[in-house]
Amino acid sequence: MTFADFNFKQPIMKAIEKAGFKEPSPIQKEAIPHILAGKDIVGQAHTGTGKTAAFALPILNMLELDGEVEALVIVPTRELATQVSDEVFRLGKYLGIKTATVYGGSSYARQLHHINNAAVVVATPGRLLDLLKSNKIELNPRFVVLDEADEMLDMGFLDDIKEIFTYLPTNRQTLLFSATMPNEIKELAQQILHSPEFISITKKEVTNANIKQFFYVVDERERDEALIRLLDYKNPTKAIIFCRMKVEVDRLTEFLLAQGINAKGLHGDMAQRQREETIKAFKRGNVDILIATDVAARGLDISDVTHVFNYHIPFDPESYVHRIGRTGRAGREGVAISLVTPHEFKQLLRIQKAVGSSLINKEIPTSTEVKSKKQKSLIQQILSQEVTQEAIELVNLLESENDLSSVALKLASMVIEQDKEYGSEKIGKSLKEIERLLEQTKRELNRPARSNRGYRGRGERRHRRR
């Protein structure tokens, strides 16, 4: 199936081609025909499955562009509001679409000005309800999207959502998306949707087949060395490194910057403006590596992330799916790499079982292997480099007083000195060690639990003797 099968308007097909989308994702294949047919839908799908395009493309195709707000998208966080707004604008730019992003902490006057000129409004619940209750805006959208509904439930927005819908027209098409379906979300769907179609993307479909998943086993003290070695060897164009804690993000950012790596951190303690600037810099390619916590990176939609690194493996499978879903987007291939210690094998096996896909164990390349790869890459760069007039003039100056062979050696030494390998020759466990440790962990998990009733009894007797 291709996007041409949906019979979208030509300006939308042009935007799809420009965005680099190859073929519809599972949620897009399922949802788009129902939305184009005017039906309400409930879509159960995780972040990273192409949800935004699944609702944005058909809505954009049906807009009348009559100068009014025709579509309202409600999302849980400021970051996601910005991401969704950018994506809608990108997919609708050849239609001349204008979008408005509405969230707390930003100027009322500026947001109201944007709303008055927009066809699509993307808003967080708090600020949207504030504007509606104070009669600063009146919206009559034909399309309403509730995105990441379970996240809004977790953040305590459910009552706000219900109140927002009292201000909206009843003759609307409503689309609800949620990664999970707790009872509260099912009840909400019954209240705000009319005879909806239900779409559910399975775990196997959630774990994108375009993403190659690897894990490397290290001791705790080797994490930093291992990360640098893998960054050197993989040489990612654009990568996200996930950490569990904000303090870890700050420390790792400083460490990578000290190694000459173009990195920036992203976490919840940063000012909103600083976070927005960091995301924009990463999107534009001014930053190569983004180091982030799960919460800060939720909803990030950047189509050209080549690699995702788990500095620590996450505690639960859903976080893992969310993290690796930042790569392999829009039909592109991606790579997900996790650093794991033997103590984290139980978590690793639990994640593998839950997501229904296997992570391939690998050895961390040696310093010699990295050096060899860099040399081959450098030779290719030199041979493909165009000769400039300035270079000719420089070589002529050097040739007048120096032997060219000696000059070439000095230049090569300069380049190598600037890009030395970091860390020990060998880092982490070998494949044989990994297999042995994994088998040991599996045996422990399969071993029947031993009752500790007898031990408790002895403890009680000792207590009585005291």
Please give the C-alpha separations between residue 348 and each of 318, 376, 401, in angstroms, as whole numbers.
Answer: 13, 35, 62
- Mean pLDDT of all residues belonging to the chain: 86
Q: What is the pLDDT of residue 224?
A: 96
Mean pLDDT for the stretch of residues 232-248: 93
- Window from 214-218, 265-269, 361-365, 401-405 with minimum mean pLDDT: 401-405
DSSP annotation of 79? H
Q: What is the pLDDT of residue 457?
A: 43
Q: How confident is the model at residue 421 (pLDDT cuts 50, 70, 90)?
A: low
Residue in 179, 106, 181, 102 with CA at minimum distance from that of residue 141: 102
Cα torsion through 124, 129, 135, 140, rounded to 10: 70
Q: Note the pLDDT tens digit of each residue in 248-280.
A: 999 999 999 999 899 999 988 888 888 889 998
DSSP annotation of 291? E
Q: How confident is the model at residue 330 (pLDDT cuts 50, 70, 90)?
A: low
Which position has the higher pLDDT, 374 or 316? 374
Element (H, E) at 52: helix 51-62
Q: What is the pLDDT of residue 459?
A: 41
Report the C-alpha gap between 336 and 86 in whole angstroms.
Answer: 25
Q: Who contacts 363 (Cβ-Cβ below 8 Å, separation ≥6)?
A: 216, 428, 429, 430, 431, 434
Q: Which two tokens stand for residue 176?
A: 């609800």
> Which residues are bridge partners to 176 per DSSP?
42, 146
Report the C-alpha gap between 14 and 5 in whole angstroms.
Answer: 14
HSE-up of 223 (CA within 13 Å, CB side)? Answer: 19
Kindly tell me the sign of the dihedral angle through the C-alpha atoms of 202, 203, 208, 212: negative
Q: Which two tokens stand for residue 132?
A: 């509606």
Helix, strand, coil % (nearest 5) of the chain?
50, 15, 35
Residue in 72, 92, 206 with CA at minimum distance from that of residue 140: 72
- Window from 232-241, 366-375, 408-417 with minimum mean pLDDT: 408-417
Which position has the higher pLDDT, 71 or 52? 71
Q: Note the pLDDT tens digit of each residue in 131-142.
A: 999 999 999 999
Q: What is the pLDDT of residue 203?
A: 52
Report the C-alpha gap between 331 and 304 in whole angstroms.
Answer: 10
Greatest mean pLDDT among 83-87, 333-337, 454-458 lies in 333-337
Q: Are 377 and 264 in contact (CB under 8 A)?
A: no
Report the C-alpha gap between 289 and 291 in whole angstroms.
Answer: 6
Give 320: exposed, middle or buried? Use CB within 10 Å, 0-12, 13-18, 19+. Answer: buried
pLDDT at 245 > cutoff 50: yes
Angle between helix 223-234 and helix 367-384 axes, rounded to 10 deg: 30
Report the C-alpha gap between 203 and 19 in whole angstroms.
Answer: 26
Mean pLDDT for the stretch of residues 415-434: 80
Q: Are 100 and 121 in contact (CB under 8 A)?
A: yes
Residue 229 backbone phi and psi in degrees, to 5: -60, -45
Q: How confident is the model at residue 309 (pLDDT cuts 50, 70, 90)?
A: very high
Q: Note the pLDDT tens digit of each residue in 380-419.
A: 888 888 888 988 888 888 887 788 788 788 887 777 766 6
Mean pLDDT for the stretch of residues 157-168: 96
Residue in 375, 44, 342 with CA at minimum distance from that of residue 179: 44
Strand pairing of 307-310 and 239-242? parallel
Q: What is the pLDDT of residue 46?
A: 66
- Window from 6-10, 118-122, 159-163, 209-213 with minimum mean pLDDT: 209-213
Write down all domains in the chain, each with its CATH number in brackets. 3-201 (3.40.50.300), 207-367+435-444 (3.40.50.300)
Q: Which two tokens stand for residue 126?
A: 């708090």
pLDDT at 230 > cutoff 80: yes
pLDDT at 338 > cutoff 50: yes
